[in-house]
């Protein structure tokens, strides 16, 4: 990146986010500068909600610190985890955000968290005025679709053990940061089954 002045109140925008963006999609210095004042830092305490069910998701977040989960309540009132967002991943309720309709899920911080956020209106303006950010939006939408399809296919074609190995590949070290009950819910299995899988894998690797 050339030596340019970024009009932003977030030191993380230049120190962390710009590096990520340049690897994620081609953006010019002009694109980077244009967006800088539109991204703002926001802190979340553990158990705070990035977005709640029946609320419209109005922001796209980039996780600088912390872990979030996306979950819903089944017919028995049990919490079912469907996604996690950790550092250097985008945090959003995608359908609610893109359609600006009420969300069917909860997006909750599992730890204290720091997020860079941009509003739906500001991002749409970037899409309208910048080919670079328009390409970002296309890449982001494609990634969200792919992640969603892989999630669905994991229940169709993978065993619980394979789902756990995939979880470890996508979220390295996350098992050390969140409860095993959250992981079991994400994998669609009971906690004792997860414990047996972990024990079996540990014995296989020893």
At 5, the pLDDT band (50, 70, 90 cuts) reads low
Q: What is the mean pLDDT of residues 21-34?
A: 91
Rg over alpha carbons for the chain, rounded to the nearest Å, is: 18
In which band, very low, low, confident or very high, does the pLDDT at 1 lie, cut at 50, 70 and 90?
A: very low
Confidence category of residue 6, pLDDT binned at 50, 70, 90: low
Spatial separation of the C-alpha atoms in residues 155 and 172, rounded to whole Å? 20
The pLDDT of residue 10: 77
Fold held by 11-153 = Jelly Rolls (2.60.120)
pTM for this predicted structure: 0.91
**Residue 98, pLDDT score:** 95
Paired residues of 65 in beta bridges: 114
Assess whether pLDDT exceeds 80 at residue 180: yes
77 burial type by CB count under 10 A (0-12 exposed, 13-18 middle, 19+ buried): exposed
Distance CA 2, CA 193 (A): 52
CB 46: neighbour CB atoms within 10 A? Answer: 12
């Amino acid at each position: 990146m050339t030596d340019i002045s970024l009009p932003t109140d977030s030191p993380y925008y230049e120190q962390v986010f710009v590096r990520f963006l340049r690897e994620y999609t081609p953006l010019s210095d002009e694109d980077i500068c244009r967006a800088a004042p539109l991204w703002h830092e926001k802190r979340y305490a553990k158990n705070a909600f990035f977005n709640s069910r029946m609320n419209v998701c109005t922001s796209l977040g980039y996780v600088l610190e912390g872990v979030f989960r996306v979950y819903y309540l089944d017919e028995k009132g049990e919490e079912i985890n469907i996604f996690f967002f950790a550092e250097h991943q985008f945090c959003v309720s995608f359908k609610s955000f893109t359609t600006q309709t009420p969300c069917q899920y909860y997006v909750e911080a599992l730890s204290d968290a720091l997020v860079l956020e941009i509003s739906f209106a500001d991002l749409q303006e970037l899409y309208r005025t910048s080919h670079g950010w328009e390409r970002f939006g296309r890449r982001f939408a494609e990634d969200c679709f792919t992640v969603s399809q892989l999630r669905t296919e994991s229940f169709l074609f993978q065993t619980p053990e394979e789902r756990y190995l995939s979880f470890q590949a996508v979220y390295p070290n996350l098992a050390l940061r969140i409860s095993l009950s959250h992981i079991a819910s994400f994998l669609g299995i009971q906690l004792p089954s997860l414990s047996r899988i972990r024990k079996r894998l540990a014995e296989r690797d020893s």
